[in-house]
Amino acid sequence: MNVTETKSEGLTREYTVVISKDNLAEKLEAKMAQLRPQMNLKGFRPGKVPLAHIRKTYGKSILGDIIQEEVTSSSQKVLEDKEIRPAAQPAIDLTCDQEKLIEGQADLEYSMKVEVMPDFEPADLTDLELERLVVEATDAEVDEALEKLAESNKQFEARGKTAKAREGDAVVIDFSGSIDGELFDGGTAEGQTIVLGEGRFIPGFEDQLVGAKTGQEVEVKVTFPEDYPAENLAGKEAVFATKVNEVRAPKKAEIDEEFAKGLGIEDLATLKDLIKKNIEQELASGSRQRLKRVLLDALDERHSFELPPGMVEAEFEQIWRQFEEEKKADRLDEDDKAKSEDDLKAEYRKISERRVRLGLVLAEIGRINKVEIKQEEVSRALNMEAQRYPGQEKQVIEFYQKTPAAMAQLRAPLFEEKVVDYIIERAKVTDKTVTREELEKALDEE
């Protein structure tokens, strides 16, 4: 193998690698000899297929595999010999005549472009001072959460037969829908319960049931939305012949021992304790989020070094794709709507540079201090990811296990959090007790 460095600028390195056709031919002969005993072709005794026949029939295919293996192994050897820590996978480009190469008439020659990791020393963090905002869960918050829980678990009781349905009431109805006098599939139901005002039916449907009484028949006229999932109904005018079987008034659940037991909890005190713990976890998560941001700001201020352009560009492209999706969905905030595209790109490029810089700093701190992720942590994260796809858990796990890039994406945030924990444990952290509103304001400002 002959290696020539053709470029060395900043963090970019380029090499030309040549592997002689004679070397490839030797490997081809060795591979065919290795495969020969396993071959069982019609017209030949098992394991006795002539090498000339193997070369004629399978030579190009075998050589193609050898070339791929040589590119992989030789490019890795270049990185090792040159003591290069790549910032990303090298870009490989075959520069030889590929037809002649596969015919065994040309040397394997390719160019390799690689961006190297910047060489920097992480800043001294022994004097790092951080402020952690701490919020305590109050009894008032627990009571408020209980009230919301009771509201979401409210029951309904029958009104009098002459009572008119009001918004917030539940009505039990039978209905059959038609378009131009013809019934359509999926437009008929019996004993359907609707809570008026929740907006779970076609727009306008629930409104026309306000004021209806038990036993009353109502002709509900609606227009299906243009974006309705069923294309045969989208934008169509429909009439629903509807009978109101019963009108029910909402009845707020009493917050007592029976209420707790109805939720499968031992007693009211245990329920309150569970709610308090959930609130504390929520507040702790917000506190951690803010502390991490303060830490990252401190790391960003203490580090300045050249960044691999490809990494910055890849990060920027990802951010910009997300921006364009938000723009298409009309979800941009007013500040972004008021900025020009050039200003936005400049702003997001700075964010990209910050993310790459901080990612490299955290990775280097973790590498130097031998921060590692345990296999059980990866397995736990993988199982949590699989649970997001009910019924497909096995396929999701197999996908990650067979896809190194996907597994790397799963591991990356785990590693980052462990490095952040490592730094926080060694920093001087001062707790400051604040209100929930003050914590939320701090998070909003960031």
| Each residue's pLDDT tens digit, 161-172 | 889 999 999 999
At which of 87, 115, 143 does a domain end? 115
Mean pLDDT of 249-256: 86
- For residues 288 and 436, membership in a common domain is answered with yes
**For the chain, how many structural domains are there in total?**
3
Residue 395 forms part of a structural domain: yes
Render 78-95 in DSSP notation, one character per residue: HHHHTT--BSSPPEEEE-
Confidence of residue 446 (pLDDT cuts 50, 70, 90): low
pLDDT tens across 80-97, in order?
Answer: 999 999 988 899 999 998
pLDDT of residue 220: 95
How many CB atoms sit inside 10 A of residue 414's CB? 15
Residue 126 forms part of a structural domain: no
Q: Crossing angle, helix 436-445 and helix 268-302, to 10 degrees?
A: 30
HSE, side-chain direction, 13 A CA sphere, residue 356 = 26
- Identify the three-state secondary structure at position 178: strand
- For residues 412 and 286, membership in a common domain is answered with yes
- For residues 74 and 198, membership in a common domain is answered with no
Cβ distance 196 to 211 under 8 Å? Answer: no
Burial 242-279 (b: 16+ CB within 10 A, else e): bbbebbbbeeebebeeebbeeeebeebeebbeebbeeb
DSSP state of 226: T
pLDDT tens across 377-430, in order?
Answer: 999 999 999 999 988 999 999 999 999 889 989 999 999 999 999 999 999 999
List residues bridging with 340 in a β-sheet: none
Residue 256 forms part of a structural domain: no
- For residues 244 and 285, membership in a common domain is answered with no
- For position 302, which CATH number holds? 1.10.3120.10
Residue 74 forms part of a structural domain: yes
- For residues 275 and 422, membership in a common domain is answered with yes
For residue 159, the enclosing domain spans 155-251
- Tell me, what amino acid is at 98? Q
- For residues 345 and 377, membership in a common domain is answered with yes
- For residues 240 and 297, membership in a common domain is answered with no
